Amino acid sequence: MQVSVETGEGLERKLTVQVPAETVDAQVESRLQSMRHQVKVDGFRPGKVPFSVVKKRYATQVFQEVAGEVIQNTFRDAVTQENLRPASDPAIEPKSFELGKPLEYIATFEIYPELVLAPVGDIKIDKLVAEIKDADVEGLLETLRKQKASWSEVDRAAEDGDRVTISFKGSIDGELFEGGSADNVPLVIGSNGMIPGFEEQIIGLAKDAESTITVSFPEDYSAANLAGKPAEFAITVSKVEVSELPVLDDAFAKDFGIEEGGLEKLREDVRNNMQRELDNRIASDLKSKVMDQLLIVNSILVPKAIVLEEAETLKQQASAQTGGNEPVDAFMADAERRVKLGMILGDLVKLSGVQLDPSKIDERLELMAKDYEDSSEFVNYYKSNPQMMRGVESLMIEDMIVDWVADQAKVSTVESSFDEVMKPTSTI
């Protein structure tokens, strides 16, 4: 067997393989001989068909079968011989495909890249650090009070924070537009539930008041036909209400399922929940930064076939969740990132020597189950589903690698508040 390798674009390789004619012919001859006693040909008794007749009738068919097997076997031997790691099935192009002549073909495929990772000690990361203060807890309790607020109608003009019930009709250049009209819509002024400039112009309007306001849709508005355009809304106010907040006491705590311990127990639970959310957000932020830096310091090529396969998977997942049918190209960027990170993390697992402790898996499941009413049912459900357990284990390995990288990287701490961590400033 003769083998030659040609390097194509990126990770593409073209493998030219030539197999001696006698190798193929011998296998064809052997298979035809074994058929002599099985084939049935009119005019001949079973088992008495002359070999020449069998060969004439079946040689082409048998050659095709043998050639396919030879290609499969020699391709496997050839990539081993050339120390190649195919990342996709080869596209086979026959060059010489005839009985009695050397069998020659070209196999085109992509290979996995040979990774040489950059030292993790060169990575620079800003790690968020924050603690929950009493004011943070009281702020969240105030939010809970607002959620439990009751509303009572008042006979005065609307103020910031009031709830108004309005009907409106929106038009652009004098023409009503789809989705721009509604009746009896409750709106809390200051909630930013409408486009910028809308709610501010409701202030000062009383019950039964009518007014026409002018606003402009944001340039990045989701409906492209409205983005950036000025619009008029004819508004009628049918009700103005003011909120009445409940007293922050033991009875208030009972509304949140606190049967014993009253308000102080509620404060404790709120703080614990905030701490868990804060820890998760900081860990998520660190993980995102580590992954970004790993991609920055390790510029690698990835097989297009694997990226496409990952994009198809992402498309199917998105379709199952939303019912949409976006083209696969919309998922290619995310797919490429995932494939690159998968390869980098795979090498880092070997380099770091991290191993998953089975007892830690149970701890992770218990932590995940805290937000569910029946935590034991949640844990049992996961443990009975091998695929979901593999997902949990994969995430845990990722987290261990993130911690391992962060331990060796150049890490600078960034002091932040609870609100800054939980509600990062938008860069858009």
Q: Which residues touch 30 (CB under 8 Å, ≥6 apart)?
A: none
Query: What's the per-residue H, E or C state across the chain?
Result: CEEEEEECCCCEEEEEEEECHHHHHHHHHHHHHHHCCCCCCCCCCCCCCCHHHHHHHHHHHHHHHHHHHHHHHHHHHHHHHCCCCECCCCEEEEEECCCCCCEEEEEEEEECCCCCCCCHHHCEEEEEECCCCHHHHHHHHHHHHHHCCEEEECCCCCCCCCEEEEEEEEEECCEEEEEEEEEEEEEECCCCCCCCCCHHHHCCCCCCCEEEEEEECCCCCCCCCCCCCEEEEEEEEEEEEEEECCCCCHHHHHCCCCCCCHHHHHHHHHHHHHHHHHHHHHHHHHHHHHHHHHHHHCCCCCCHHHHHHHHHHHHHHHHHHHCCCCCHHHHHHHHHHHHHHHHHHHHHHHHHCCCCCHHHHHHHHHHHHHHCCCHHHHHHHHHCCHHHHHHHHHHHHHHHHHHHHHHHCEEEEEECCHHHHHCCCCCC
Residue 427 reports pLDDT greater than 80:
no
Q: Is 427 among the domain residues? A: no
Does 412 lie in the same domain as 292?
yes
Residue 428 reports pLDDT greater than 50:
no
Does 215 lie in the same domain as 333?
no
Mean pLDDT of the 75-98 span: 94
Does 187 lie in the same domain as 300?
no
Please tell me the distance from the alpha carbon of residue 300 to that of residue 339, in angstroms, as a whole number. Answer: 10
Total domains in the fold of the chain: 3
Mean pLDDT of the 137-142 span: 96
Residue 402: pLDDT band (50, 70, 90) is very high
Q: Is 383 among the domain residues? A: yes
Q: What is the pLDDT at residue 324? A: 79
pLDDT in tens, 218-247: 999 988 899 999 999 999 999 999 999 999
Does 347 lie in the same domain as 198?
no
Does 383 lie in the same domain as 293?
yes
- Closest to 298 measured CA to CA, from 341, 338, 336, 334: 341
pTM greater than 0.85 (yes/no): no
Q: Is 135 among the domain residues? A: no
Amino acid residing at 361: I
Does 406 lie in the same domain as 266?
yes
Judged by average pLDDT, the poorest of 40-54, 97-111, 196-210 is: 40-54
Does 255 lie in the same domain as 231?
no
Mean pLDDT of the 152-173 span: 96
- Closest to 11 measured CA to CA, from 116, 107, 86: 86
Q: What is the pLDDT at residue 144? A: 94
Mean pLDDT of the 176-185 span: 94
Mean pLDDT of the 369-379 span: 85
Please tell me the distance from the alpha carbon of residue 42 to that of residue 57, in angstroms, as a whole number. Answer: 12
State the chain's mean pLDDT as an integer: 92
Does 280 lie in the same domain as 386?
yes
CATH number of the domain enclosing 105 = 3.30.70.1050
Please say which residue of 205, 229, 244 terminates a domain. Answer: 244
pLDDT in tens, 31-67: 888 887 777 777 776 777 788 888 888 888 999 999 9
Please say which residue of 208, 229, 244 terminates a domain. Answer: 244
- Can you give the residue range of the structural domain that contains 215? 150-244
Q: What is the pLDDT at residue 50? A: 82
Does 260 lie in the same domain as 392?
yes
Q: Is 129 among the domain residues? A: no
Residue 425: pLDDT band (50, 70, 90) is low
Q: What is the pLDDT at residue 426? A: 39
Q: Is 93 among the domain residues? A: yes
CATH number of the domain enclosing 162 = 3.10.50.40
Q: What is the pLDDT at residue 127? A: 96
Mean pLDDT of the 249-275 span: 94
